[in-house]
Chain A
């Protein structure tokens, strides 16, 4: 690295100076100057991203934490500064206590039923991740076989991934709705009508997410499978392993990084599911205790946050958001922990 910097003339005059006349001290200085310039330019190039990340993510996160400790209600307080000014009168952690305490009969506020209900719904939607991964792994294995036209299939499977969620959700309401195509095909009401419970409604969303997310995972898995070292396969084949053994003992361990990447990103994304249920069920009557029994089962956690935001309870919504961030952070941590344990074994 340093060697390279020595051979970096910044201008012709400097080159001549170092080559003919400069004492060793000056040479050393020049190295430092080149190094300094690389440092400065490196920071200039990353500055936009660095500032953006700091301001729009980290500062916003700190601000969120702060807002969650106040009693900021958009319909009562008119300005931002007013809302931020004071902590919640009933203790800074009021909203955190509120979301974990049960709803009582006489003035005992709480929403733990809604909290755990919406969180459970979000976790139920996560079922789509393993289903999608198994399906896409199978499809990726089929695509990496030596067949013609696998590129065409790759493109076809990727189309739902790029398609607009809004359009797809609206299509889904018509396909799965009462008397829709799927209902006529399978004879099951998914969203409304006879026999439609919140379980069928949830499965409708899971089918949507699996269908939509399949293509991206397939492409990643195909890339991973193409990257698997072929010489191991040949060696195993010569040693008499059958295709099944080769797949589990040779291919899967090498595919593991891709699987891990897909899992981590899908869990982070899956915890934030919002648009699909929102559009399929035509918005939620969310917000706290106002939700009726029939619909609050399908509200994901972000929908719950959004509902409280819509109602102007911004401090409340912020507190819920912070809890979501903590949950996602813990889930990611758990996954990385399992990953590191696997490395040791």
Chain B
């Protein structure tokens, strides 16, 4: 600071013409800029050009940037869902196209949720063979099918996976490592390359006509589920099981009354994740299920989209159907988000 002042004072006395004046001006200008930058950055807590850094202010500065970026990203994540909901309420296709936050012209004529009923009617009209006592119920049938394909195999499958995870984590038996890697290597076999052989066998034994093709295989558990539960079980103390063993509990007893209650968070999280996976499954039902009667909701909505794809006037109805398919999953996620994310973070960090 002092040296600059000296220079500023010294410069007017030194009358060496235009060049010196320009030089002087630039020097002074540079010094001014430096000071301005220092003050500016110093205000945000950065120590540049000899200024003092301020940790608190620096943190506030980065926090603001962080929040801004995260909020922008969060809006990108959330907004399409809101758009989808708003679009499903719009009166017609033209309104749907212009939806920003709320449709300009909601379907007031037939009620706000007109297109939800419309979607159900459209699907019933598409799959006319699905009837009960003469009335078409294709939509609700597909909901029932989805629940069947999601709940039954996932419940049984998670339990069998948990049993396998218990054996992998806490028991010591011959061939344990072999079985584990044998099962783990199956992840690399992609579903599209075995689905045709599976379909051949399933159709030969009659599983494709009644949805058993989507129920039975899931009951045998999945290695990824077992893997995550195993990771969780590693974190539990073995001494509890040893104490149980000393008190005379057999392995089955250990599993049912110690492992399942203790690993409940991991089992719950895997249950919900598998449930969501089954609910959203698209390729497997499309390949395995040949009867309209047994098709799940995802196929129903895909069917709506393809059959009315060219007729854009039904777009709000298709959007409404998608909202209906999405809603249960979102509600489930909202309820269990802590368990799900906690479990993924816990098991993911232990890779």
Q: A interface vs B, CB < 8 Å?
A: 1, 4, 7-12, 37-43, 45-46, 48-53, 55-58, 60-61, 63-64, 66-67, 72, 79-81, 83-84, 139, 142-143, 145-147, 153-160, 162-168, 170-171, 173-175, 179-181, 184, 211, 214-216, 219-220, 222-224, 226-227, 257-258, 261, 268, 271-272, 274-275, 278-279, 282-283, 302, 305-306, 309, 314, 317-318, 321-322, 324-325, 328-329, 332
Please indicate the chain B residues that have their CB under 8 angstroms from the CB of A166 in the complex. 280, 282, 298, 301-302, 305, 322, 325
Specify which chain B residues have a CB less than 8 angstroms from the CB of A58 in the assembled complex.
186, 189
State A49–B194 Cα separation when bound (angstroms).
Answer: 18
Listed residue (A46, A142, A223) with the most chain B CB atoms within 10 angstroms of its CB: A46
| Cβ of B33 under 8 Å from chain A | no
B27 to chain A minimum Cβ distance, whole angstroms, is 30
B173–A38 CB distance below 8 A: yes
Complex Cα distance, B322 from A175, in Å, reads 14
Contacts A159-B330, A167-B84, A174-B319 given; does A61 touch B189 at CB 8 Å = yes
Tell yes or no: B242 within 8 A of A by CB: yes
Contact across chains for A43 and B173 when beta carbons are under 8 A apart: yes
What separation, in Å, do the CA atoms of A8 and B161 have in the docked complex?
Answer: 26
CA distance A4 to B199 in the complex (A): 48
Closest residue of chain B to A56 (Cβ to Cβ) is: B217
Q: How many contacts A-B (CB < 8 Å)?
A: 305
A45-B164, A46-B167 known; A155 and B190 CB under 8 Å? no
Known: A64-B193, A164-B280. A157 touches B77 (CB 8 A): yes
Which residue in chain A gives the minimum CB-CB distance to B309?
A: A282
- Min CB distance, A263 to chain B, in Å? 12
| Interface contact B70-A305, CB-CB below 8 Å | no
The reply on B333 being an interface residue by CB < 8 A is: yes
Whether the Cβ atoms of A61 and B333 lie closer than 8 Å is no
* Closest chain A CB from B331 CB (angstroms): 11
Given the complex of chains A and B, what is the CA–CA distance between A314 and B194 in angstroms? 11
- Min CB distance B247 to A, Å, is 9
B196 within 8 A of A: yes
The chain B residue sitting closest to A258, CB to CB, is B351
Q: Decide if B348 touches A258 in the complex (CB within 8 Å).
A: yes
- Alpha-carbon distance A139/B349, docked complex (angstroms): 17
Q: Pick the contact of A227 from B59, B76, B182, B349 — CB < 8 Å?
A: B349
CA distance A142 to B73 in the complex (A): 11
**A63-B197, A170-B322, A306-B287 are known contacts. Are A79 and B204 too (CB-CB below 8 A)?**
yes
